[in-house]
Amino acid sequence: MADTYYKGKVVLITGGAQGIGLGMAQAFAKAGAYVLIADADKEARQEAVARLSKENLTIDFIACDVSSEQQVIDLLQYVREKHGQLDVLINNAGIADPFMGNLDELQMKDFDRVLAVNLRGPLLCSKYSLPLLRKSLHPAILNITSTRAFMSEPDTFAYSASKGGLEALTHSLAVSLAKDKIRVNAIAPGWIETGEWQKKSQKYTPSHTREDKEQHPVGRVGKPEDIAEAALFLCSEKAGFITGQSLTIDGGMTVKMIYH
Ligand SMILES: NC(=O)c1ccc[n+]([C@@H]2O[C@H](COP(=O)([O-])OP(=O)(O)OC[C@H]3O[C@@H](n4cnc5c(N)ncnc54)[C@H](O)[C@@H]3O)[C@@H](O)[C@H]2O)c1
């Protein structure tokens, strides 16, 4: 398959105004796709437009909170009216807050919010993308989960549960949407450094200790480009025989046995 695969394809990436999502947006746009970013953060959206236009990449940005059914309906209506086409949906938007907190103090509203963004959001976006995806020749959905779906640090209940749910939703969607020829896969990232990909007010220059690097068998922390490369593959017909799978991209961290 030639590298022109994404020319003429429309790719919707949620949470693409910063971090891994922005890295994927840039990669898909460079590969020739028409990229739409749906993100809830106005400041990040405006800065991302400026960043990508410096590279002559034109990307469409839409305000959307993926946990809101009405906003997702409006988003897909916009995609239908403006583009009339959708080939790839990447459910990337996610929140980690409250990152830590013990179970005694966990507020159910915080738990519910993480589940609403990280799990309900991908379900809503998948549901309302269906009419357009069904019209695509080779439609694909990609869910960005986390290695925290499979293992935990203490006190990360909401995030771990949401990502575990998204892993399960991936195989459930894959089996259910196979009749529509829609492939559904997941990427489970490990530690991905996004400091350079944040909006100005949150941007920082990454610095990693030797220990940070050495806990990864490949000897470094991950970067958004690592996820973007795999996303380009999984959402293309090169991966046409792959559905319902989750690809862990973590520099080998989760397969490393630790004895002290
Ligand atoms: N960075 C990592 O180390 C890492 C590791 C594993 C998994 N992940 C997952 O990868 C995805 C991206 O992570 P990141 O580190 O790039 O995060 P990030 O915070 O840098 O970017 C997330 C983007 O999602 C947007 N967003 C948040 N809530 C939203 C909502 N309700 N509706 C629409 N947009 C919303 C934010 O505005 C932001 O632009 C997330 O799902 C995250 O859980 C990240």
- The pLDDT tens digits of the residues spanning 27-86 come to 999 999 999 999 999 999 999 999 999 999 989 999 999 999 999 999 999 999 999 999
Question: Rounded to an integer, what distance in angstroms lies between the CA atom of residue 35 and that of residue 127?
Answer: 19
Ligand 1 binding site (Cβ under 6 Å of any ligand atom) = 14-15, 17-21, 39-41, 44, 64-67, 92-95, 117, 144, 146, 189, 191-192, 194, 198
Mean pLDDT of 224-248: 98
Ligand 1, atom 13: closest residue by C-alpha: 20
Question: How confident is the model at residue 234, as a pLDDT?
Answer: 98
The domains found in the chain, sorted by start residue, are 10-255 (3.40.50.720)
User: Between residues 244 and 259, which one has the greater pLDDT?
Assistant: 244
Mean pLDDT of 125-138: 98
For residues 5 and 25, is the Cβ–Cβ distance under 8 A?
A: no
Ligand 1, atom 4: closest residue by C-alpha: 192
pLDDT averaged over every residue in the chain: 96
Q: Sorting pLDDT into bands at 50, 70 and 90, what band is 219? A: very high
The one catalytic residue in 5, 34, 159, 259 is: 159
The yes-or-no answer on residue 159 being catalytic is yes
Judging by beta carbons within 10 Å of its beta carbon (0-12, 13-18, 19+), is residue 24 exposed, middle or buried?
buried
Question: Rounded to an integer, what distance in angstroms lies between the CA atom of residue 171 and that of residue 185?
Answer: 8
Residue with tokens 């000897």: 219
Mean pLDDT of 114-128: 98
Look at residue 8 and tell me whether its pLDDT is greater than 50: yes
Cα–ligand 1 centroid distance for 22 (angstroms): 10
Q: What is the pLDDT of residues 132-188, one digit of tens each?
A: 999 999 999 999 999 999 999 999 999 999 999 999 999 999 999 999 999 999 999
Ligand 1, atom 18: closest residue by C-alpha: 19
Mean pLDDT of 74-99: 94
Mean pLDDT of 98-108: 85
Ligand 1, atom 36: closest residue by C-alpha: 15
Question: How confident is the model at residue 98, as a pLDDT?
Answer: 63
45 CA to centre of own chain: 16
- Ligand 1 atom closest to 191 (CA): 3
Question: Rounded to an integer, what distance in angstroms lies between the CA atom of residue 190 and that of residue 252?
Answer: 9
Residue with tokens 């034109």: 58
Q: Specify the pTM.
A: 0.98
Two tokens at 99? Answer: 């990152």
Cα–ligand 1 centroid distance for 35 (angstroms): 17
The radius of gyration computed from the CA coordinates of the chain, to the nearest angstrom, equals 18
Cα–ligand 1 centroid distance for 2 (angstroms): 31
What is the torsion angle, in degrees rounded to the nearest 10, for the CA atoms of residue 69, residue 71, residue 124 and residue 147?
A: -120
Ligand 1, atom 32: closest residue by C-alpha: 65
Question: How confident is the model at residue 146, as a pLDDT?
Answer: 98
Torsion angles phi and psi, residue 233, rounded to 5: -70, -50
| Residue 211 CB neighbours (<10 A) | 7
- Report which of 91, 83, 81 is spatially closest to residue 33, judged by C-alpha positions: 83
Two tokens at 44? Answer: 């990040």
Q: For a ligand 1 pocket test, name from 45, 66, 92 the mutation site with the most ligand atoms within 8 angstroms of its C-beta.
A: 92
